[in-house]
């Protein structure tokens, strides 16, 4: 009987092998599919019952999970919801997740592959699994300064560290409070979401990263860059600056701001044209440079593609309406009107690139991810997107931007004791007889050792409406943000 | 030549008369208890944030059971396998921890303390069995009693008043408020009956009959017993609506028939008969067919939402998937979302919290017990012992296969329980009895015996009086001292010419190795 016993032992081995294979099949190979089955409430319980890691700004949690006595066990709370929601996004049982809560979900809930050692430790010690904390690059003072300075006006503020691309401030108004969406009552959260969705001011959309505006005169930086890079222009090259400019092939006459003439001689240096933001000079300049050069230069600054910061931003576009690109449109693009659209983030990136010697840095908002034992799990290292302009061009642009703040259209951005470089913008949109222009300011400081680059847009002139200019409304906001960063 | 005479003596495995200290068992037992007690503490900490209320009594009781069993084995079955007891204590402890965890999470029906009591009762019966049953061959005289008891137990759930149908399967009886699953005990009775019956009739079943296509077919009249068991199994399937129990009995019988007769034709006949029977049952009886549908298409929304549909197995699969590779950790998952997470589906509960790693460890622990049981069967000398040990080991493997295979959808889901882990008194008592029998048989298998062993010289000499001619290496013939080859420590003292080392080095036909040291 020993032969048959040995054979039976082999049969037993096969039976156990079958069980191991079937168990592995479910637990390993099919797990993802099963975990996402809509009938698996476990996934929801697990996600919402976990001690989710906090989102940290300047050492303080701006989003955290607090133990509560309900069926899930934890409630997500946002300490300053409206201020930080353009970054944090929301974490909602009824409506899903967005922004950092979405892109960093695997780290926040502790399920990222990189955290397997922690999970193994939790398994062995029986410790409650905890999510990792996500630390943002945001400077809380700059964020607050931007929020306060923007006041009740609609618009956005973006501040970057020009050297690294780290986002120092990201404000969008009107904003929403993610606490309203985090309610465990599906009904409450659902109603809050519907209300935000139907709000005409679109508070759910971040104006800083997912909203495009005509960049107006801030785009003259790119036109100037294209001119300097072409090799045919220097800052002191004299260009035509007529009182009005008739767009090629049309009857449309475009004048300068408030109908003034740029120079009595009808011509001026490129540097002066930027300093006083002379429209007619730039219309002609863009026509001279041509669509290809303009497009290429804007793409080098980051136009044409979305960024992951790590949540996805909208792409800015030089030729948003490619079919309509005629000479007149190219001329208009020179002053950031017509087919040009840009996000405030992109405009800030233009200033940051100039401040950084011409190199464009990938913008990012997550600095480090730490596990519950505060060990660094992931750290973002600054990466270059590419070079927009040569170092020489960057220096020339910096000098020109300095004069804008010193004696040009952006004097309101001056900070005592600090050299500030900048550019204003007043962008018309829609039916100009019925709308007030969006007003811009972008720049960086200190000009010789840049610490912060900003872009500010205030929709429809903000509180001043039709009287507003980039210099009067947006420059002071930019100043406040830059000061907050520089004064640390 | 002296060498030719000496060889048998040299190569004989010397049975030690000294009782093994069972230190390996003690060491493994400590590990098993540590795993179980740590798990009790962890589930409490996870679920309520403190040690569970029953922590100390449960821990001490489990330790007491382990130690008592160990001591009794030392005294009454010192040669018994040393791995089986720790493995069982480990499984029982982990099962208790999961039931405790579910009870702490207010899962309706989970009762850790009662499971602890049944564990104590089961282990107590096992200890008494090892103590009083000195020789497993005594059981052989119960062969036909066991058959009657077995059949009686199978029929019990069908009886009015005491029979109970739970979740569609009529495999329960309720006596004086206690629920019992008689099939758990019936499997032991059947194993005893089959062993006794087959050891007597194996030659007839094996040798009579024609040979067709290389298969030795049995005679028609010898088919009687297999037909009866087949019919009984199908009756269980149809009337008690339980594929698992039916498969368990029939599989046990076919396996033991094969063990006894060494004829593969029996296995083939058995499989064909059962397969055909099950297919007919599935097409004729709607409830069997419904189970098949659930098995084949569990994720179908209609079946998922149907009463008695696939909700449970789908949720169990979700639980397993949620566990992934490493599990959520004790007390961190949602095993209670699955109906009967503490009994029928304890496998998915363990899978959710301990992960694939934990389940593979648990499966390997079961495999260890089963393989030790089969090894016992190979080692034991009497045919009845071989069949009984082989049958009991196999029935445990088969039960696990039916349970886990049901949950992981290798076969349709059944109402059997996972031995030692699932909540249920009958299962615990019955499986502890199985373990007691296996330990008793393994003790008898390894106990030094006056009977000749394979490779031993039968008469007179090898064991106590090695036949040595010529006294070439200094051993005195006839003194009862076994021939000892010098150990590694010898050469340093090897200056005397008469020392064995020299004798060996001069040996014309060097021995093959220190087999007998």
The whole-number pLDDT of residue B390 equals 96
Chain B residues near residue A5 by CB distance under 8 angstroms: 259, 374, 377-378, 386, 390
Specify the higher pLDDT residue, B446 or A228: A228
Average pLDDT over residues A158-167: 97
Instruction: Say yes or no for a CB contact (<8 Å) between B258 and A4.
Output: yes
Residue B109 pLDDT > 90: no
B365 touches chain A (CB under 8 A): no
**Is B397 close to A12, i.e. CB distance below 8 A?**
yes
Chain A residues whose beta carbon lies within 8 Å of the beta carbon of residue B333:
42, 46
Contacting residues for A123 by C-beta, under 8 A, at least 6 apart: B326, B327, B328, B329, B354, B355
Name the residue facing A24 among B255, B330, B356 (closest C-beta): B356
A22 to B322: CB separation less than 8 angstroms, yes or no? no
| Min Cα separation A179/chain B (Å) | 26
pLDDT tens-place string over residues A260-291: 888 888 899 999 999 999 999 999 999 999 99
Inter-chain residue contact B322 with A43, CB threshold 8 Å: yes
- What pLDDT, in 10s, does the model give residues A92-138? 888 888 999 999 999 998 888 878 887 787 767 766 678 899 999 99
* CB contact (8 A) between residue A19 and residue B258: no
**A126: which chain B residues are within 8 Å (Cβ-Cβ)?**
41-43, 45-46, 329-331
B318 contacts A42? CB cut-off 8 A: yes
Do the beta carbons of residue B358 and residue A148 sit within 8 Å?
Answer: no
CB contact under 8 A, B46 and A126: yes
When CB atoms are compared, the residue of A11, A24, A45 closest to B334 is: A45
DSSP tally for chain A: helices H, then strands E: 16, 19
**E strands within B95-181?**
163-166, 169-175, 178-180
Cα separations (Å) of B350 from A13, B119, B330?
22, 19, 9
Phi-psi category of residue B107: left, alpha or beta, with phi > 0 → left and psi -120 to 50 → alpha? beta
> In the predicted model, is pLDDT for residue B293 greater than 90?
no
Please, what sign has the CA dihedral across residues B223, B229, B231, B237?
Answer: negative
Dist CA A240 CA B214 (whole Å): 106
d(CA A239, CA A46): 66
User: To probe the interface with A, which of B261, B299, B313, B318 has the most A CB atoms within 10 Å?
Assistant: B318
Tokens read off for B128:
């008494």
Residue of chain A nearest B357, judged by CA positions: A24
Strand ranges for B178-306 from DSSP E: 178-180, 211-212, 215-216
What positions of A carry a catalytic annotation? 217
Please list, residue by residue across B255-277, b when 16 or more beta carbons sit within 10 angstroms of its beta carbon and e when fewer do. bbbbbbbebebbbebbeebbeeb
Residues of A in contact with B247 (CB under 8 A): none
**pLDDT reported for residue B305:** 83
List all residues 6 or more positions away from B172 whose beta carbon is below 8 Å from its beta carbon: B157, B163, B164, B165, B166, B179, B180, B181
Q: Is the pLDDT of residue B9 over 70?
A: no
Side-chain-side CA neighbours of B252 within 13 Å: the count stands at 33
> Which pLDDT value is given to residue B396?
96
Chain A hits for B360, CB-CB cut-off 8 Å, are: 20, 23-24
> Would you call A380 helix, strand, or coil by DSSP?
coil
Which DSSP letter does residue A214 get? Answer: -
Q: Residue A301 phi/psi, 5° resolution?
A: -80, -10
Token duo for residue A240 = 């035509």
Check if the beta carbon of residue A317 is closer than 8 Å to that of residue A304. Answer: yes
Strand partners, A425: A440
> At residue B86, what are phi and psi to the nearest 5 degrees?
-60, -40
Query: What is the sign, positive or negative, of the torsion defined by CA atoms of B370, B372, B374, B380?
Result: negative
Q: Measured between alpha carbons, how far is A473 from A465 in angstroms, rounded to an integer?
A: 10
Nearest to A147 by CA among A60, A86, A62: A86
pLDDT for res B210 = 67
SS3 B476: coil
Neighbour count for residue A381 (Cβ, 10 Å): 6
Question: What share of chain A has pLDDT > 90, as a percent?
Answer: 77
The residues in B 213-232 lying below 8 A from A, measured between CB atoms, are: none
Which of B53, B63, B65, B68 is CA-nearest to residue B31? Answer: B63
The pLDDT tens digits for A166-197 are 999 999 999 999 999 998 888 888 899 999 99
Distance CA B55, CA B61 (A): 10
Model confidence over B63-86: pLDDT tens digits? 999 999 999 999 999 999 999 999
Residue A43's pLDDT band (cuts 50, 70, 90): confident
- How many whole angstroms separate alpha carbon A156 and alpha carbon A169? 10
Tokens 């156990």 appear where? A16
Alpha-carbon B229 to chain mean position: 22
Residue B330 to chain A, least CA–CA distance (Å)? 6
Question: Which among B319, B321, B398 has CB closest to A30?
Answer: B321
Contact (Cβ atoms closer than 8 angstroms) between residue A219 and residue A336: yes
Residue B230, pLDDT > 90, answer no
Q: How far is CA B169 from CA B86, B110, B238, B288, B410, in A?
A: 33, 20, 10, 11, 20
CB contacts of A127 in chain B (<8 Å) are 329
> In this complex, which of A42, A123, A129 lies closest to B334 when CB atoms are compared?
A42
CB pairs A-B closer than 8 Å? 154
CA distances from A369 to A366, A377, B263 (A): 8, 5, 65
Question: Which candidate in B36, B311, B329 is best for mutational testing of the A interface (most A CBs within 10 A)?
Answer: B329
Q: CB contact, 8 Å: B400 with chain A?
A: yes
Calpha distance B374→B483 (Å, rounded): 34
Cβ partners under 8 Å of residue B34, min gap 6? none
Task: List the beta bridge partners of residue A60.
Answer: A57
Among B292, B185, B182, B277, CA closest to B238: B277
Task: Determine the Cα–Cα distance for residues B91 and B432; give it in Å rounded to an integer.
Answer: 12
Nearest residue to B168 via CA among B253, B111, B238, B104: B238
Task: Flag if B374 and A129 touch (Cβ within 8 Å).
Answer: no
Query: In which residue are the tokens 């882990």 written?
Result: B421
Identity of the residue in A15, A37, A128 whose CB atom sits nearest the CB atom of B401:
A15
Q: Half-sphere exposure (CA, 13 Å, Cβ side) for B171?
A: 27
Q: Please, which pLDDT band fits residue B487 given cuts at 50, 70 and 90?
A: very low
Nearest CA in chain B to A12: B397
Is A18 in Cβ contact with B405 (below 8 Å)?
A: yes
Q: Are A478 and A155 in contact (CB under 8 A)?
A: no
- Kindly report, residue by residue over A57-104, the tens digit of the pLDDT: 999 999 999 988 877 888 999 999 999 999 999 998 888 889 999 999
Least confident residue range of B10-24, B342-356, B361-375: B10-24
Q: How many CB atoms lie within 10 A of CB B231?
A: 12
DSSP state string for B276-296: HHHHHHHHHSHHHHHHHHHHH
Which residue of chain A has the CA closest to B48? A128
Q: Which of B192, B78, B125 is nearest to B445 (CA)?
A: B78
**Cβ A146 vs Cβ B351: under 8 Å:** no
Tens digits of residue pLDDT in A317-367: 999 887 778 999 999 999 999 999 999 999 999 999 999 999 999 999 999
Q: Answer yes or no: do A19 and B405 touch at CB < 8 A.
A: yes
> How many CB atoms sit inside 10 A of residue B129's CB?
17
Calpha distance B397→A12 (Å, rounded) = 7
Average the pLDDT over each of A70-84, A94-108, B352-366, B469-483 and give the range with the smallest value: B469-483
CA distance A77 to A68: 11
> In this structure, what is the dihedral angle of CA atoms B489, B490, B494, B496, given to the nearest 10 degrees?
140
**B304: chain A residues, CB-CB within 8 Å:** 39
DSSP-derived letter for residue A38 is T
Which among B321, B387, B408 is the nearest to A19, CB-wise? B408
Place B454 in a pLDDT band, splitting at 50, 70 and 90.
low
Residue A199 has pLDDT above 50, yes or no: yes
DSSP string, A118-183: HHHHHHHHTPPPBPPEEEE---HHHHHHHHHHHTTS-EEEEEE-TTT-BEEEEEEES---GGGT--
Quick check: helix, strand or coil at residue A286? helix
What are the backbone dihedrals phi and psi of residue B266, each rounded to the nearest 5 degrees, phi first?
A: -65, -40
**By the CB < 8 Å criterion, does B323 face chain A?**
yes
Contact between B408 and A26 using a beta-carbon 8 Å cutoff: yes
CB < 8 Å to B319, chain A: 42
For B356, which of A1, A9, A23 is closest by C-beta distance? A23
Closest residue in A to B405 (Cα) is A19
- The residue assigned the tokens 């496998």 is B347
pLDDT for the residue A361: 97
Map out the domains of chain A with their CATH numbers. Answer: 216-341 (3.40.710.10)
Angstrom distance (rounded) from CA A105 to CA A72: 17
């Amino acid at each position: 009987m020993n032969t048959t016993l040995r054979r039976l032992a082999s049969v037993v081995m096969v039976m156990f092998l079958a069980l191991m294979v079937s168990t592995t099949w479910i637990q390993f190979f099919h797990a993802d599919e099963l975990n996402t089955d809509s009938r698996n409430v476990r996934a929801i319980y697990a996600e919402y019952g976990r001690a989710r890691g906090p989102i940290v700004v300047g050492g303080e949690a701006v989003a955290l999970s607090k133990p509560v006595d309900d069926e899930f066990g934890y409630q997500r709370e946002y300490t300053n919801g409206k201020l930080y929601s353009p970054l944090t996004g929301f974490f909602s049982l009824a409506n899903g997740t967005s922004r950092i809560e979405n892109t960093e979900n695997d780290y926040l809930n502790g399920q990222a592959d990189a955290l397997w050692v922690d999970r193994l430790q939790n398994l062995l010690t029986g410790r409650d699994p905890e999510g990792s904390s996500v630390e943002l690059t945001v400077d809380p003072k700059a964020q607050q300064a931007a929020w306060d300075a923007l006041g009740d006006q609609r618009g956005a503020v973006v501040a970057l560290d020009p050297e690294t691309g780290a986002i120092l401030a990201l404000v969008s108004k009107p904003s929403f409070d993610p606490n309203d969406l985090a309610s465990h009552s599906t009904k409450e959260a659902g109603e809050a979401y519907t209300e935000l969705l139907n709000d005409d001011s679109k508070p759910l959309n971040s104006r800083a990263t997912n909203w495009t505006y005509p960049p107006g005169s801030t785009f003259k930086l790119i036109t100037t860059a294209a001119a300097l890079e072409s090799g045919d222009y220097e800052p002191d090259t004299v260009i035509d600056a007529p009182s009005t400019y008739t767009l090629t092939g049309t009857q449309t006459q475009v004048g300068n701001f408030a109908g003034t003439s740029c120079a009595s001689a009808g011509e001026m240096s490129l540097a002066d044209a930027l300093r006083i933001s002379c429209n007619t000079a730039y219309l002609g300049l863009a026509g001279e440079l041509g669509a290809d050069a303009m497009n290429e230069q804007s793409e080098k600054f980051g136009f044409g593609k979305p960024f992951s910061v790590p949540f996805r931003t909208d792409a800015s576009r030089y030729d948003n309406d490619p079919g309509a690109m005629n000479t007149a449109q190219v001329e208009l693009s020179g002053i950031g009107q017509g087919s040009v659209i840009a996000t405030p983030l992109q405009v800030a990136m233009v200033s940051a690139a100039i401040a950084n010697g011409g190199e464009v840095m990938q913008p990012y908002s997550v600095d480090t991810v730490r596990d519950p034992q505060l060990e660094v799990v992931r750290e973002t290292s600054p990466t270059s997107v590419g070079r927009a302009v040569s170092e020489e061009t960057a220096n020339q642009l910096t000098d020109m931007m300095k004069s804008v703040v010193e004696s040009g259209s952006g004097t309101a951005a001056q900070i005592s004791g600090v050299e500030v470089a900048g550019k204003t913008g007043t962008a018309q949109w829609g039916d100009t007889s019925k709308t007030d222009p969006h007003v811009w300011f972008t720049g960086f400081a200190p000009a010789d050792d840049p610490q912060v680059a900003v872009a500010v847009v205030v929709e429809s002139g903000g509180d001043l409406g039709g009287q507003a200019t980039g210099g009067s409304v947006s420059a002071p906001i930019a100043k406040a943000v830059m000061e907050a960063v520089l004064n640390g | 030549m002296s060498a030719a005479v000496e060889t048998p003596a040299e190569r004989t495995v010397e049975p030690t008369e000294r009782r093994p200290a069972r230190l390996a068992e003690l060491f493994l037992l400590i590990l098993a208890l540590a795993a179980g007690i740590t798990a009790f503490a962890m589930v409490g900490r996870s679920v309520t944030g403190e040690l569970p209320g029953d922590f100390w009594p449960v821990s001490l009781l489990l330790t007491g059971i382990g130690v008592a069993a160990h001591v009794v084995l030392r005294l009454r079955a010192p040669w018994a396998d040393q791995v089986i007891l720790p493995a069982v204590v480990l499984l029982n402890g982990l099962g208790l921890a999961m039931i405790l965890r579910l009870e702490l999470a207010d899962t309706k029906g989970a009762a850790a303390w009662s499971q602890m009591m049944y564990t104590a009762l089961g282990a107590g019966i096992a200890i008494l069995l090892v103590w009083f049953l000195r020789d497993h061959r005594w059981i052989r005289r119960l062969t036909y009693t066991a058959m009657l008891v077995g059949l009686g137990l199978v029929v019990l759930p069908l009886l009015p008043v005491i029979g109970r149908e739970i979740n569609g399967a009529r495999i329960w009886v309720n006596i004086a408020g206690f629920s019992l699953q008689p099939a758990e005990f019936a499997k032991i009775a059947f194993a005893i009956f089959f062993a006794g019956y087959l050891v007597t009739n194996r030659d007839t079943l094996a040798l009579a009959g024609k040979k067709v296509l290389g298969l030795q077919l049995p005679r028609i009249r010898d088919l009687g017993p297999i037909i009866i068991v087949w019919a009984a199994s199908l009756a269980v399937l149809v009337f008690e609506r339980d594929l698992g129990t039916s498969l368990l009995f029939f599989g046990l019988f076919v396996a033991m028939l094969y063990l006894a007769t060494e004829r593969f034709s029996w296995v083939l006949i058995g499989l064909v008969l059962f397969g055909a029977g099950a297919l007919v049952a599935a097409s004729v009886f709607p409830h069997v067919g419904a189970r098949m549908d659930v098995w084949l298409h569990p994720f179908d929304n209609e079946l998922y939402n149907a009463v008695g549909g696939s909700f449970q197995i789908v949720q169990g699969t979700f639980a397993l998937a949620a566990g992934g590779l490493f599990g959520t950790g004790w007390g961190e998952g949602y095993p209670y979302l699955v109906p009967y997470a503490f009994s029928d589906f304890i496998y998915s509960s363990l899978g959710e919290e301990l992960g694939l790693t934990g389940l593979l460890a648990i499966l390997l622990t079961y495999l260890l017990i089963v393989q030790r049981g089969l090894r016992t069967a190979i080692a034991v000398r009497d045919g009845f012992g071989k069949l009984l040990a082989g049958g009991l080991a196999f029935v445990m493997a088969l039960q696990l296969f039916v349970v886990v295979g049901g949950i992981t959808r290798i076969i349709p889901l059944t109402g059997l329980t996972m031995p030692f882990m699932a909540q249920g008194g009958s299962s615990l008592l019955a499986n502890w009895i199985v373990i007691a029998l296996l330990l008793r048989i393994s003790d008898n298998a390894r106990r030094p015996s006056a009977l000749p062993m394979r490779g031993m010289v039968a008469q007179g000499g090898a064991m106590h009086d090695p036949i040595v001619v010529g006294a070439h290496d200094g051993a005195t013939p006839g003194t009862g001292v076994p021939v000892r080859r010098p150990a590694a420590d010898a050469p340093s003292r090897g200056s005397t010419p008469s020392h064995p080392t020299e004798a060996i080095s001069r040996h014309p036909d060097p021995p093959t190795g220190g087999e007998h040291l």
